[in-house]
Amino acid sequence: MKTTSFLCVLTLFSGLLMATDGDSGVQAQVRRVALFKNGYNWVELSVTLPDAACVRLTGLPDALLGTIWWDSASGVRQLEGSSIESAENAKNYDYADLLAANAGKQVRISLKGDGKLEGRILAQKEQGRQEGSFLQEQKLVDSDAPKVILVQTESGVRSVVSEEVVGVDFDEAPQLPVKKVESNIVTAMLEEPNPGKEFRFGYVSNGMSWLPEYSLELGEKDTAKLTCRANIINEMAEMKDVDLQLVSGFPSLGEAMVDSPLNRAMKLQEFLTRLGILTEERVTSRLARKNAYNLVAAPCVAESDDSGAALSGEEGSKQVEDLFYYSLPHFSCERGKSILRDLFSCEVPYSHVYTCRVPNQSMLENLSRRGEPVADVWHCVRLTNIDKQAWSTGIVTCTVDGQIAARSTLYFAAPGAETLLRLNKSLQATVQCNEALMKREERKIPGRGNDSATVSIFRGTITLRNNSDREMELRLTKEVTGLVIEADKEGRINVSPSYSGNPRSVIAWTFTVKPGESIELHYFYEYGND
């Protein structure tokens, strides 16, 4: 007698057992993708229509709510979303799954402790999801419960817990376990067959993103070489000879977290819940969602540029409203892969700038001691974008004479704009700040009769020193809780109201400090005592 033995706890097997019946459908080809940095993207696809009035479309990324459009000239009048069920070999399974797949067959089961059991495997009724109205709670079977196998032996029906099984022997080749797979399909309904006609359509999807990575080499003559590479992560679909457009900007996509109803994997209850219709906190959740996903917008698609000019930096990126597009024609990438790709390289002018931000009086009291520096001075470079394309925010590695000088963040700069790149903390400049109470006054509170409040007037002194051997262009800001009434050396004052009582003030100075020079700055402000 031929015997087949299984003596492993876990068996791996993969491969398609059974395809869907009927027409296998028409594979949609991705033609163009406009890729946002937040993981959303505008996808354009096309198919050549066969000689049929109903065309099943396959190979589609998941669409998001309310974004699907197509050209009606193709004769397509509507799209229908549905799902089909197929079976495929389970990639991993245990003894309970294997025995259940071979109901009705003779088996010899080896148990823990040298136990044996021989008989015919009994079929068991499948327990699945209890479907009902979308307003009813849908319960799931407890997947943690131990699996039980029923075996008809000569002495009666025996039950065996799967954890007790250590091996099984069959008299004939067993059937490997399969699992049911539900696939979502989209069917295009035509007015009449239109064979050979190209059907183009597009929508917003997710599963693909990009981020820029820069290198900046600072030259001796105030000119730097900026190189940008794009990191592209593809978990959405196969890309073959696609017109890829990398988008820099802050788009807004509305209900970006909600899949399109054409995606039948999402039941009606989940769809309505995501929209906020079935939850009492729908307003709060939507506000929170908008705050968390504020980098998402109505789809904008720029014309492709097959010249490859974006790679050389000669033509620059295209601009649509407030979005900038970098074109990568003829782009290919398999799903599940990442690609690092050259984007552009250009020469840019730069200059050295030092920045310092002195905190308000309460922070000074908590974080510093008298006579010690109160804030860090940062060495930065000011870059001017003289190129024809925007610089998208990204990490930059800065080098000088081939040696690394900083790993920082390059912030967005449109053509013609400036951006400030922080390099490192300067150890050759010190900033100190002292404040002294000058006087207190009792003042009437407007509109409150004889009520009065105490107002304290302070005089602040900031002392800074350049201990280096070169001039420093310094941008210094001082934060103040209170109303700044005066600041010398042309300090620019900005006052913002505050609901806590005292306003918030910021003083900004820009000046040049010579090597070895010390400078004193004075300011006066009023603080209302509660």
CB 490 within 8 A of CB 421: no
pTM exceeding 0.85: no
Burial class (CB within 10 angstroms; exposed 0-12, middle 13-18, buried 19+) of 154? exposed
* pLDDT of res. 486: 93
* pLDDT of res. 425: 92
Per-residue exposure over 237-254, b if at least 16 CB sit within 10 Å of its own CB, e if not: bbbeebbbbbbbbebebb
Burial class (CB within 10 angstroms; exposed 0-12, middle 13-18, buried 19+) of 257? middle
* pLDDT of res. 8: 36
Q: How far apart are CA 482 and CA 501, in angstroms?
A: 9
* pLDDT of res. 279: 45
Joined together, the tokens standing for residue 423 give: 């390099």
Q: How far apart are CA 194 and CA 48, in angstroms?
A: 9
Closest to 508 in 3D by CA, of 355, 353, 352, 351? 355
Class in CATH terms, 430-529 = mainly beta
Q: How far apart are CA 20 and CA 236, in angstroms?
A: 23
Q: pLDDT of 332-355, one tens digit each?
A: 999 999 999 999 999 999 999 999
Q: Where are the domains of the chain?
A: 91-175, 236-341, 430-529
Question: Are domains 91-175 and 430-529 of this chain identical in fold?
Answer: no
- Tell me the sheet residues that pair with 430: 465
* pLDDT of res. 317: 63
* pLDDT of res. 409: 93
In the three-class reduction of DSSP (H, G, I as helix; E, B as strand; rest coil), residue 326 is classed as strand
Residues of the chain with pLDDT under 70: 1-24, 64-66, 125-146, 253-317, 321, 366-373, 447, 530
Q: pLDDT of 281-338, one tens digit each?
A: 444 444 333 333 332 222 333 333 332 333 333 344 677 767 888 899 999 999 999 9
* pLDDT of res. 407: 93
* pLDDT of res. 134: 37
Burial class (CB within 10 angstroms; exposed 0-12, middle 13-18, buried 19+) of 45? buried
- Tell me the sheet residues that pair with 198: 48
Say which CATH architecture domain 91-175 belongs to: Roll (2.30)
